[in-house]
Structure 1
């Protein structure tokens, strides 16, 4: 069956990209992270080589597979679908087309001589050439129809935290202010010991995805304390890059932020689902998301080893990164913003 498919590679042609995106829009397995805008952002901001493959049958697209090549002396050489994203792998409604593109990806991985191929599926696969590793889970829930119903649906203890935040004289604004989002996020991840992305990355995401991307910022006394950059796609809201400053914990401003985002997305964007993204299993973020009442759903990431002898482990919990994390937490924020992008381009 797979012999009938024709393999194609996405170039820079706008009409070809539009056909790809139209296909992603039309199928259930197509996610925001399969859209061609990610190719343009990753190429322009990070300079990585993108290998976007798609299969056609009778001149119609039947499957797409975004792949990005990352090559680093420190973190290795990988072919990933897709870095900086939660979901990836083949988007198709055909098992045969999916298998065809997976096998083409494996062949490409060997041709490029990478250490490993990684495909970030949210569901299981049955390709014997792939090895599954479930180390992350996603979280989310259906959005109720009113702010009161959304609040009532939050787990009791976390609902009390949100109610507390509503009494802290916080305000919020929704705009295109990626600079504030970056400033807050960069300080937040510095505190966690994680290198931050380049500032132009946030601006590029907004420029590329337009109305499907915005920023919600929480202020206290006209000063930003929490901020989140979110995506909107297929009636879902995806808060993707969020964080808070030192005062955020006491003010409960992150809790306030996510609640207000739920209300905004439901009322103004007609969203019916809140996708809280992925977290490393049993991490602090994992436990925090469960406090809202959301149950974890395992992400079935698939790997094919080429030169590597073992599955990769770039987790912050990896002992070999602990010294680096502790040192990074001590850096001045301005310095972390200066040197972080040289490392984060390989950590998506």
Structure 2
């Protein structure tokens, strides 16, 4: 008989074995994501599974977040990324849903936010999609070729020339998973967040994620004449990979370091058995959407819902006060926002 239950870190490997073999699971479903968030920010994870004959057959990763001023609690699957949600057969998902709602009651959580993605892509007829989709959020996913040579050959000539432009300009990229690369990535990322007027994640979060994921995490940094120009992090699970963070410094845009950065990630994945690359969340038709579209990625509709109230959540339009806050944040010194930012960012689910 199948039963839903909470598990602890002792079953981490069993959880990951299931997630690695599940077609709909993402790198964010791995136990390491919950583990790293608890290590860096102290948010408590609640991993729910369904077991049948002692074997895990479905999972739902949840993290409890509490607003520091209002003390309002929310269970989120999952914070700080695009996706989470239940993985498993429909009958088992019903058990997970019931258990999650019971957990929300027992933890006094007022929201049960679950971030999921449609199983089928929306196709490539972007003109028709523009009128149907509007400004909804989508994941942009590329099906990779078997090897980097085939992947490069599959790109349109204009895209190949942009990648080669960065190489001709003298940009080089280093891939791995070590403290120096995380430090160099954060150099770019923190400056970009400051320029956007957005509180930055703590460096400790990225260090914790890379440590927890081990060889399932790849950090890439693109350099120009020894200076950091762009950086990103890719996480892997089974045959799937996702890029939750990537940034480049505007003063190097003329050299196209971001094109080389993404290419090196794609080449690494194609050469190491990854078949699906998730470029991450974008608003349909906007700038980041167009950037990802040029690589051949297909949109998949995202759905963030509150399982308690059965209504959409997390996708409302920003209020009028947001541009004012962003402008004020940009005027603060970088050193100060890198200290204050993580204290704020840890409580923002996005």
Q: Return the TM-score normalized by structure 1.
A: 0.86
Shift of 1:294: 2.0
Could you tell me whether the CA contact under 8 Å between 1:77 and 1:116 is conserved in 2? yes
Deviations 1:124-144 (A, max 9, x none): 7xxxxxxxxx94211121223
Structure 1 equivalent of residue 8 of structure 2: 11
Deviations 1:146-189 (A, max 9, x none): 54543343345544433332321111111322111111111112
1:119 paired to 2:119 = no
Structure 1 Cα separation of the partners of residues 72 and 252 of structure 2: 36
Shift of 1:312: 3.8
Structure 2 Cα separation of the partners of residues 155 and 318 of structure 1: 40
Structure 2 equivalent of residue 342 of structure 1: 343
Structure 2 equivalent of residue 204 of structure 1: 208
Distance 1:328 1:315, change over 3 A: farther
User: Which 10-residue stretch deviates more, 314-323 or 107-116?
Assistant: 314-323
Could you tell me whether the CA contact under 8 Å between 1:316 and 1:322 is conserved in 2? no
Deviations 1:260-295 (A, max 9, x none): 22123223x232332212223344322321233323
- Which blocks of at least 5 consecutive residues in structure 2 are unaligned? 120-134
Could you tell me whether the CA contact under 8 Å between 2:142 and 2:295 is conserved in 1? no
Structure 1 equivalent of residue 123 of structure 2: none
What aligned pairs does 1:1-348 form with structure 2 within 5 A after superposition?
4-13=1-10, 16-72=11-67, 73=69, 77-92=73-88, 94-123=89-118, 135-145=136-146, 147=148, 149-155=150-156, 157-175=158-176, 176=178, 177-267=181-271, 269-305=272-308, 311-313=312-314, 317-348=318-349
Shift of 1:224: 0.8
Shift of 1:119: 1.0
Structure 2 Cα separation of the partners of residues 191 and 234 of structure 1: 35
Distance 1:320 1:284, change over 3 A: farther
Structure 2 Cα separation of the partners of residues 179 and 80 of structure 1: 28
Structure 2 Cα separation of the partners of residues 331 and 156 of structure 1: 43
Structure 1 equivalent of residue 126 of structure 2: none
Distance 1:345 1:229, change over 3 A: same
RMSD of aligned alpha carbons: 2.5
Distance 1:12 1:293, change over 3 A: closer
The alignment of Structure 1 onto Structure 2 pairs a total of residues equal to 330
- Which blocks of at least 5 consecutive residues in structure 1 are unaligned? 125-133
